[in-house]
Amino acid sequence: MTGGFSSAMESLERAGGNPGQYCRPFLDVFPVTGASVATVGALLGSETIAASDHLAARLDELQFDLGEGPCWDALVTGAAVLEPDLRDHQRRSWPAFRTAIAQDDVRAIFAFPLAVGPLRMGAVDLYSAQPVRLDRTQTRQADAMAAIVGRHVLRSALATVDRESEPSSTAYSRRLVHQATGMVLAQLGITPDDALLVIEGRAFAESRSVMDVARDILSGLLDFAPTDEGIGDAG
């Protein structure tokens, strides 16, 4: 399956801003029936971006309406959510969601966070008509694939931002943004591209200019480094 995984990673990288291509690679690699990509939460709002079938889309819609489900848990915890058998009565999470899907052909459900650094914006949901377990390798692979989708989703959202509110960037301000990018990549241990995306995403989330956020980072007012209180709480 390693070959399947690396070609799935490549397909996702190539998918860029085309949501139509986000689900297929997950179905190629994992023993699941359907996949969907949804944004939830404050950053980008609740929206299904891609779904491989109607049931996958319905599972997302239900979670938006009910405000609970694996997708929300993935958003809140920033970690994979694994439910290999929904009829395992030991589990008590998501009572309303479980009741709502009792008649649907869904036995297992999984969610992997869409995130770039500390910015979390949704989840990739996978479901299976049969009970199924994903082992640790599969879980790690799905996380890595969801991370690629997360970058695409954030980039696409930022591309639609009305840049008129942004003060025109000068060479000097770009220099400060590069310096802030360096601080953020060191804080989070990520690439310069991702670090810039984190800065732009934060600016977007707070309706501020990228330059403003960069200044806060350089002055130490905003620090993305993980702390005991949580991630990126400052600012």
Partner 1 sequence: MNDITRESRLLETFVTLADTLVDDYDVVDLLQLLVDTCKELLDVSEAAILLADTAGVLDVIASTSESSRLVELVQLSAEAGPCVESFRTGRPVSVPDVRDVPAEWSTFRDSAVRAGFGSVHAVPLRLRDTIIGSLNLLRRGSSGLAPEDAAASKAFADIATIGILHERSMRETTILAEQLQIALNSRIVVEQAKGVVAYTRGVSIDEAFELIRAYARSHRVGISQVAARLVDRSLDLPD
List residues near partner 1 by CB under 8 A.
Answer: 170-172, 174-175, 178-187, 189, 192, 218
* Closest CB 195 distance from partner 1, rounded Å: 8
* Closest CB 184 distance from partner 1, rounded Å: 8
Angle at 37 between CA 149 and CA 9, to 5 degrees: 35
Token reading at 135 = 């082992």
Candidates 110, 132, 143; CA nearest to 31 is 132
* Closest CB 57 distance from partner 1, rounded Å: 40
Q: How far apart are CA 12 and CA 9, in angstroms?
A: 5
Decide whether 123 or 180 has the Cβ nearer to partner 1: 180
Q: Which residues are paired to 35 by β-bridges? A: 126
Decide whether 47 or 166 has the Cβ nearer to partner 1: 166
* Closest CB 226 distance from partner 1, rounded Å: 14
Q: How far apart are CA 226 and CA 154, in angstroms?
A: 21
Q: How far apart are CA 78 and CA 81, in angstroms?
A: 9
Per 3-state DSSP, what percentage of the chain is helix, strand, and coil (rounded to 5)? Answer: 50, 15, 35
Decide whether 35 or 180 has the Cβ nearer to partner 1: 180
* Closest CB 170 distance from partner 1, rounded Å: 6
Decide whether 98 or 202 has the Cβ nearer to partner 1: 202
* Closest CB 186 distance from partner 1, rounded Å: 4
* Closest CB 217 distance from partner 1, rounded Å: 8
Run of H or E residues at 119: strand 119-128
**What is the DSSP annotation of 137-197?**
HHHHHHHHHHHHHHHHHHHHHHHTS-GGGSPPP-HHHHHHHHHHHHHHHHHHT--HHHHHH
Decide whether 21 or 209 has the Cβ nearer to partner 1: 209
Decide whether 8 or 203 has the Cβ nearer to partner 1: 203
Decide whether 114 or 180 has the Cβ nearer to partner 1: 180
Each residue of 2-13: b (16+ CB within 10 Å) or e? eeebeebbebbe
